[in-house]
Chain A
Amino acid sequence: MSVTFQIPGPLREFTGGRTAVEIEASGGVLEDALKALWTCYPGLRDRIATEQGHIREHINLFLGDEDVRYTGGLMTPVPAGSVISIVNAVSGGCGSPS
């Protein structure tokens, strides 16, 4: 199953400069596609997900135009040929000093 990930500028250093990468995923849900993405481009994993495997708070993944948070999260079905965009959210800043 082939899935395309759109890579944002700050992460392209880990995709050899590619703006989009096509991945062969073995399963049918977002978690499978992400696992395949981590395998191919290991630098992306810790930037998109926490060490506990959750998508980072201010990172949004869109399957087509849909934010996956509202379509089942990591269990969102990902049909072959899907395009997944990785986007940092507009909310928040970079930590709040105290």
Chain B
Amino acid sequence: MIGQVLGHYRIVSKIGEGGMGVVYRAHDEVLHRDVALKVVSKNVGLDQSTSQDLLREARASSALSHPNICTIHEVGETNGELYIVMELVEGKSLRSLIGDTGLPIESVLRYGVQIANALGRAHDRGIIHRDLKSSNVVVTSEGLVKVLDFGLAKHVASAIFEGSTRSFQTGPDASMVSGTLPYMAPEILRGEGADYRSDLWALGVVLYEAASGRLPFEGRTSFEISSSIMREMPKPLGPPVLPALWATIQRCLAKEPMQRYQRASEVQAALEAVQSAVVISTDAAADRGGPRTTVLHNVQHIHVRKGDFLLLVGTTKGAFVLRSNIQRNRWEVGGPYFHGHAVYAMAYDDRDGQHRLWASTQSYWGTLLRSSDDFGKSWTNPQEAPIRFPADTGVSLKNIWQICLGRPEEPDILYCGVEPAALFQSRDAGESWSLVRGLFDHPHRPRWVPGNGGLALHTIVLDPANTQRMYVAISAGGVYRTDDGGGTWTAQNRGIRVVFMPGKYPEFGQCVHKMAMHPNRPERLFLQNHWGLYRSDDCAENWTDIANGVPSDFGFPVVVHPKNPDWVYVLPVDSDEFRCSCDGRLRVYRTRNAGASWEPLMRGLPQKRAYETVLRDAMTADSLDPAGIYFGTRSGQLYGSTDEGKNWKKILDGLPSVVCVKSAVIGDPSVFRSPRPRQAAATSSRSRRSTGKSTTRRGKS
């Protein structure tokens, strides 16, 4: 045939051979374009009238113009041979792309939608394909699907079918049947004839094949295949095939046409719904679901044992966990965790027998609450941010400033103080969080103003005895207290002076930097404000200025001694404008009389050109005996004292800016006991859990 001219088509080369005949590449001598030219084999067994039907139908099909349908340009007859001239499609057959394992689900859906779209157009024009199969679908290099041979198969297929019914297993047409029979709908096999829905059955077979690499109805012989089509259910397709796609395929493969989709557009819509509503790739499917655990690389890990002492250090560029024993003089450093993320809040939670570290991380990519149950070797990295403002608030989370454990008897309760100023609560050990509306909806809230660090709720203090009472500190909003478990809140700032408002003693709006309570005396609270050191002895009803002898009453942290409720530690800085240690001398100030007087603690701390800043959560106490006090500076130095502040040592240098320091003792019942109710504890100087802002622990005894 090569070189011959049929009509005005010069045959250039042979492309392939199929059930209907041979396909050639040909050149249209009139329109000067390359086309595909199919010469219908005489062996197909068409009689004269069938040939005419075929010609008529092919001409009707040639009216189909659709991007997913291979256009028929012309049908003709010459020397008794039928030929069909078609758009030349360069690509690969879907059959060859599917291979033995099937296609990625993304491709199955993309191709399936296009095939369904093509069928829909043809059906609207009254044309049924009748021989849709994966080898009749070509995919171009751009991913465009072209369905071939629309409307050409009716007579050929019926001729083949009639032949195959005569001799399923040994007949001369068996090889031809094998290419088509597996796609035949039950009604065709029953001799009831094909309609649109038979094409949808075939589409179901193609989808099944594309998704799995195998046919839904198989057999060694034509009889077995037909029997399977008529009676058996296809083997279910599990992951990575999505349930919604499998449901769509199943409905295409309903034995009764009435139970199938009734229109191709319905199949298309179903596939598009799968496409837009579910995971497209297999790997992504594995990403769905609960929190992920991220194992960090290039990170030093520590091995923590019972009785170890830990310092949790949050910085603006990541977190560190330092391990020591109760001597606290040699340190092993784990981290940095969360490279580049600011960690403003950390906590250790050993309630209910767990050993869980909590950390908040803030970066370009948002703010997350994360946890580790193996002391930092792995951390959760939840897909969805666990702490999020409800849509109706119109507010977005900027940072988590405080992680506060609930009382020991409420091991599933956690609180987070966040920016913009709000309180979140979890009642299921951190699995889910909800905004405490009573505070968020407070009429004062619109008039709170951000401090230099943002509008943050940075301190949460729980009354250990009264489970309905808790305090929060907001910069700049002041101190608020609830006596009904968070339902309602009152501003508690009486006696607290401000320098940045015309009225010096406003009801609220104070810029409190930190608040601390000693659990043995929950009616007593201490405040370090933006200018001002205060104490309340009546549950924050009234505040007294206690800046008696400090070089400056401007500072950030305030820490209560773990045993003695009269001992308090602060780190004054020069002023609002110059937030550095006074006179270049890094000094901790301690009171041993609840603020009546203060003494500088400096032994081991730099006293020359030490212009340091210690931020609000960067100082903490431990609960050992003698008590340890620790702080980190904005310049990345970490200091500690194991004798209640008398002598200090530099623990680490060269860290990123330290914003959070917490301590933890890993369950040693000989050292720690559970906090007792206030009444019993009031006369005891025994070790207690530290304040709400520090790491809370509970003994195992």
User: For the complex, what is the distance from the CA of A92 to the CA of B398, rounded to whole Å?
Assistant: 14
CB under 8 Å from chain A, chain B span 95-120: 106, 109-110
A97 touches B287 (CB 8 A): no
Stretch at the interface among B180-188, B338-346, B644-652, B673-681: B338-346
Q: A39-B279, A50-B397, A96-B453 are in contact. List 7 more A-B contacts (CB 8 A).
A: A16-B283, A46-B366, A46-B383, A47-B366, A48-B365, A56-B364, A97-B634
A-B contacts, 16 listed (Cβ < 8 Å): A15-B284, A16-B287, A24-B275, A24-B276, A26-B272, A40-B280, A40-B281, A46-B384, A48-B365, A52-B395, A54-B396, A58-B364, A97-B316, A97-B342, A97-B615, A97-B657
With a cutoff of 8 Å between Cβ atoms, the chain A residues found around residue B385 in the complex are 46, 51
User: For the complex, what is the distance from the CA of A88 to the CA of B276, rounded to whole Å?
Assistant: 27
A56 touches B276 (CB 8 A): no
B391 touches A52 (CB 8 A): yes
User: For the complex, what is the distance from the CA of A88 to the CA of B385, rounded to whole Å?
Assistant: 19
Beta-carbon contacts of A33-63 to B below 8 Å, as 1s and 0s? 0001001111101111011101010110000
* B255 at the A interface (CB under 8 A): no
CB distance from A68 to the nearest CB of B (A): 17
With a cutoff of 8 Å between Cβ atoms, the chain B residues found around residue A23 in the complex are 280
With a cutoff of 8 Å between Cβ atoms, the chain B residues found around residue A92 in the complex are 364
User: For the complex, what is the distance from the CA of A98 to the CA of B284, rounded to whole Å?
Assistant: 40
Q: With contacts A11-B365, A24-B109 known, is A43 near B451, CB below 8 A?
A: no
* B639 at the A interface (CB under 8 A): no
User: For the complex, what is the distance from the CA of A87 to the CA of B177, rounded to whole Å?
Assistant: 55
Using a CB–CB cutoff of 8 Å, the interface residues on chain B facing chain A are 106, 109-110, 143, 272, 275-281, 283-284, 286-288, 292, 294, 316-317, 340-342, 344, 362-366, 368, 381, 383-385, 388-389, 391, 394-397, 399, 451-454, 475, 615-616, 634, 657, 659
* A78 at the B interface (CB under 8 A): no
Q: With contacts A24-B276, A40-B284 known, is A52 near B316, CB below 8 A?
A: no
Query: Of A2, A13, A39, A93, which one neighbours B276 at CB under 8 angstroms?
Result: A39
With a cutoff of 8 Å between Cβ atoms, the chain B residues found around residue A43 in the complex are 287, 292, 381, 383-384
User: For the complex, what is the distance from the CA of A98 to the CA of B276, rounded to whole Å?
Assistant: 44
With a cutoff of 8 Å between Cβ atoms, the chain A residues found around residue B341 in the complex are 94
With a cutoff of 8 Å between Cβ atoms, the chain B residues found around residue A36 in the complex are 276
* A21 at the B interface (CB under 8 A): yes
Query: Of A25, A41, A46, A89, which one neighbours B287 at CB under 8 angstroms?
Result: A41
With a cutoff of 8 Å between Cβ atoms, the chain A residues found around residue B288 in the complex are 42
User: For the complex, what is the distance from the CA of A45 to the CA of B362, rounded to whole Å?
Assistant: 16
Using a CB–CB cutoff of 8 Å, the interface residues on chain A facing chain B are 2, 10-11, 13-18, 21-26, 36, 39-43, 45-48, 50-52, 54, 56, 58-59, 88-89, 92-98
With a cutoff of 8 Å between Cβ atoms, the chain A residues found around residue B292 in the complex are 13, 43
CB distance from A90 to the nearest CB of B (A): 10
A45 touches B384 (CB 8 A): yes
List the B residue with the shortest CB-CB distance to A17. B283
B363 touches A94 (CB 8 A): yes
B316 touches A93 (CB 8 A): yes
User: For the complex, what is the distance from the CA of A48 to the CA of B366, rounded to whole Å?
Assistant: 8
User: For the complex, what is the distance from the CA of A91 to the CA of B362, rounded to whole Å?
Assistant: 15
List the A residue with the shortest CB-CB distance to B282. A16
A15 touches B287 (CB 8 A): yes
With a cutoff of 8 Å between Cβ atoms, the chain B residues found around residue A42 in the complex are 287-288, 383-384
With a cutoff of 8 Å between Cβ atoms, the chain B residues found around residue A25 in the complex are 276
Query: Of A52, A54, A59, A96, which one neighbours B389 at CB under 8 angstroms?
Result: A52
